[in-house]
């Protein structure tokens, strides 16, 4: 986990989601979003450590499982194999924390226009959900939409506001099927967000609905 940067974070992850992340129950898209927020947020990193400690305590109470006689030899052989060593994770950039740089494979985002100056870089799309970077020019609004499932939106640069409040760098918004909103980027610096979803968004306007399959939103 990368060291936390200094941000005034007021919107945090809910406790059940931190518990699911600690237990490995989140899909790839949500796992990256949670890891990125935790890397920026002292409070959520401390809460995650508590969940991980509790999970470790539970594991210590479980009876041991039998293993093969040659397990130790095979593990040591793997450790001595240079090809088996995991690659070094990409270093965080001035905007993108380590988990996002890993999702980008250490390369700059490949932006694709969504119209009205808004751009996206799709990092992952699968049965477990999607993960994308969004670039929203100052003062621009993302079309009004609801949610078929959950959406996590982490601010990496700039800020945005919607019906639920104001979100700056490091803040994460957790949306579900009960929320319909119109996020608007603040004036000044363009807003760059990491957005993870586990189901398609629900747009009111016709044009976003027609473009939705193309952009996999």
Give the per-residue pLDDT at 63: 64
Contact (Cβ atoms closer than 8 angstroms) between residue 24 and residue 35: no
pLDDT in tens, 124-136: 998 888 999 999 9
Question: For the residues 53-58, what does the mean pLDDT come to?
Answer: 64
pLDDT confidence band for 65 (50 / 70 / 90): low
**108/116 Cα distance (integer angstroms):** 22
Question: For the residues 154-161, what does the mean pLDDT come to?
Answer: 97
DSSP string, 126-143: ETTEEEEEEEE-TT-BPP
pLDDT in tens, 187-210: 999 999 999 998 876 666 655 655
pLDDT above 70 for 78? no
Give the per-residue pLDDT at 103: 96
Question: For the residues 49-72, what does the mean pLDDT come to?
Answer: 67
Give the per-residue pLDDT at 135: 97
pLDDT in tens, 13-40: 999 999 999 999 999 999 999 999 999 9
- Convert 139-168 to b/e letters by CB count within 10 Å (16 or more is b): ebebbbbbbeebbbbbbbbbbbbbeeeebb
Give the per-residue pLDDT at 3: 42
Burial of 2 (0-12, 13-18, 19+ CB in 10 A): middle
Q: Cα dihedral angle (195, 200, 205, 210), rounded to 10 degrees?
A: 110
Give the per-residue pLDDT at 147: 75
Closest Cα partner for 45 from 3, 87, 16? 3
pLDDT confidence band for 8 (50 / 70 / 90): confident
CATH architecture of 9-217: Sandwich (2.60)
Give the per-residue pLDDT at 127: 85
């Amino acid at each position: 986990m990368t060291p936390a940067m200094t941000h005034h974070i007021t919107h945090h992850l809910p406790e059940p989601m931190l518990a699911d992340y600690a237990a490995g129950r989140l899909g790839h898209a949500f796992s990256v979003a949670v890891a990125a927020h935790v890397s920026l947020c002292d409070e959520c990193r401390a809460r995650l450590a508590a969940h991980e400690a509790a999970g470790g305590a539970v594991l210590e109470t479980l009876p041991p499982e039998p293993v093969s006689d040659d397990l130790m030899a095979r593990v040591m052989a793997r450790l001595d194999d240079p090809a088996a060593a995991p690659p070094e994770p990409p270093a965080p950039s001035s905007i993108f924390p380590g988990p996002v740089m890993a999702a980008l494979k250490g390369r700059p985002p490949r932006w694709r226009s969504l119209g009205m100056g808004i751009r996206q870089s799709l990092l992952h799309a699968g049965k477990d959900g999607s993960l994308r970077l969004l670039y929203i020019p100052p003062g621009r609004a993302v079309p009004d939409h609801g949610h078929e499932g959950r959406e996590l939106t982490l601010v990496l640069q700039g800020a945005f506001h919607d019906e639920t409040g104001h979100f700056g760098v490091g803040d994460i918004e957790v949306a579900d099927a009960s929320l319909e909103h119109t996020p608007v980027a603040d004036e000044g610096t363009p807003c760059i967000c990491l957005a993870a979803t586990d189901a398609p968004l629900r747009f009111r306007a016709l044009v976003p609905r027609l473009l939705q399959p193309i952009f996999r939103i």
